[in-house]
Amino acid sequence: MGINQRLYMIMQAPFLVSRSNISLDPIAGLLKRCLKFKALRGGKQVHAWLVTRGTDSRILSLNSKLVGMYASCGDLKSATLVFKRIRNPNVFALNWMVLASAFEGYYKEAIWFFCSMKDSVFIYNKYTFSVVLKAFVGLLDLNKGKEVHCMVKQLGFESDVCVANALVDMYGKCGCIGYARRVFDRMVKRDIVSWTSMISGYCNVKKIEEALILFERMRLEGLEPNDFTWNVLISGYARRGDSDGAFSLLSKMTREGLVPDLVTWNAMIAGFVQGERAGDAFKLFQDMLVLGVKPNLVTVAGLLPACGMIISIQRDDVTRGDLKKPGSFAMLSAIYATSGEGREVRYNMKKIVEERKAQKEPAFSQVEEKDELVEVEIEKENTEVGIKAVLILVPCVQTRLELQGKLMNKYSDLELGYLPALIPNVW
């Protein structure tokens, strides 16, 4: 039975419709299902039902369940409104707000929610610290991370594996490898995440030998590396510019029965780019396409910096990007305008929108075609809100590169829609 059918049946039940002797247990259970299955529409209906009947949302912690439901569905605005109306939020509501904010990239907001409860530190649990430490990683705020570490130690959570793993990850990604190793060595129990985080920390500071020693030590202690562990080590070799070492590890990974996936390819591509080996990165990208591995936005984000390293612009075959996001059409217009190709703006905008058959409202953007301002009609699609395509296209405009944002649909027929990928010699 679907969420909507269950919702209708429960809300039509006589004991719920009647104001006397109302049982809210089915409603609490329904909110949990909406949270689990990310059923935002059903959750909103439950919320509306509670509001119209003047139900006290403190019963059965319904207010906290509403926060969790909205947060799990990605509706941070509604989750925040409900959270701020709770007089004494519990740890469930707090953790969801911190987690959802950090997951969406709102690291400062995640820290704000965490700090807003500092006068009631007793409500924190191990999951709270695990999540908030990821926010400090996003901001690369080592000092604040150390403050939270002190709090973790005072409250006795440092011995917890999840919290210790988050500390190792935070210190490693902030470049403070000595602190990361200190936390790692003090851990009584370590899991695969512990070892992978520590290995990743060494790779981040280009201490590949130490990472490899730790990798072998992990295996001696009876833990077999998973895909993530291999990807971290492969990326470390690629980042250092050691293509032979990276490919050697890739072969070894295959021999041990693990199939390199898109994450592995992305890790190698990103590693070569960070090691300023743009040619190797694009060659690897071509090999990936030949093997039938479909690129995604992470692939593009990893390749984009490499484009600036390559002077040649003989080929401008950049695969069509994910232009279902608001603002992407305007950004693409700016890219073509940079090279004075206003006609291409109009042609590509019209072609892409026609292929999508999307419902849209016209908007206008001025672009410069040579020495003349041209007003271009840009279509606004009725699709999900997102910014990934804009983030990818922004650097092209900011650096006034010419042909780098042009698109085609050679590799766009993917399951997730129009995902971008770059073809070599774009720059």
pTM of the model: 0.67
Q: Which residues pair with 369 in a beta bridge?
A: 372
Using an 8 Å Cβ cutoff, are 83 and 64 in contact? no
- The residues that bridge with 84 in the sheet, in sequence order, are none
- Which alpha helices (H) appear in 53-160, and where do they start and end? 62-72, 76-84, 91-103, 107-116, 126-139, 142-154
Q: Which of 169-173, 270-274, 283-287 has the highest mean pLDDT?
A: 169-173
Q: 137: which 2 tokens?
A: 């990683």
Given the structure tokens 């500071």, which residue do they identify?
A: 205
Structure tokens at 14: 């006589």
Token duo for residue 289? 């396409």
The continuous run of DSSP H or E covering 372 comes out as strand 372-381
Cβ atoms 163, 126 nearer than 8 A: yes
Token digits of residue 235: 């990326």
Q: What is the end-to-end Cα distance of the chain in Å, rounded?
A: 53
372: left (phi over 0), alpha (psi -120 to 50) or beta: beta
More confident: 399 or 242: 242
* Segments of 142-268 assigned E as strands: none
Confidence tier at 418 by pLDDT (50, 70, 90): very low
> What is the percentage of the chain residues whose pLDDT exceeds 90?
41
pLDDT at 197 over 70: yes
Mean pLDDT of 324-329: 47
Q: Is the pLDDT score of 17 beyond 70?
A: no
Rounded mean pLDDT of 183-189? 95
Poorest-pLDDT segment among 122-136, 286-300, 386-400: 386-400
Query: Is the pLDDT at 392 greater than 50, yes or no?
Result: no
8 Å CB contact between 339 and 403: yes
> In this structure, which topology does domain 88-189 adopt according to CATH?
1.25.40
